[in-house]
Amino acid sequence: MKHTTTGLIVAGLGATVAGAALLMKKGRVRDGAVGFGLAHVVLGALDAIRKE
């Protein structure tokens, strides 16, 4: 699997997690889940644009 494909999958799953977390009640768990999702979006995007 190419880095582009893997990176986009990771970023997409991160966006899904962050979006689902925003539907939760406010609290520490929600904040953590949003941060976790956004971190995966950033890391997936970096993996997608990485050159070998």
So what's the pLDDT on residue 1?
Answer: 75
Tell me how far apart the alpha carbons of residues 22 and 34 are, in angstroms, rounded to a whole number. 7
pTM of the model: 0.87
What tokens were used for 9? 């999958």
**Does residue 50 surpass a pLDDT of 90?**
no
What tokens were used for 52? 């070998």
2-49 pLDDT, tens digit each: 778 999 999 999 999 999 999 999 999 999 999 999 999 999 999 999
Sign of the alpha-carbon torsion through 23, 29, 32, 33: negative
Show the 3-state SS of 4-49: HHHHHHHHHHHHHHHHHHHCCCCCHHHHHHHHHHHHHHHHHHHHHH
So what's the pLDDT on residue 25?
Answer: 96
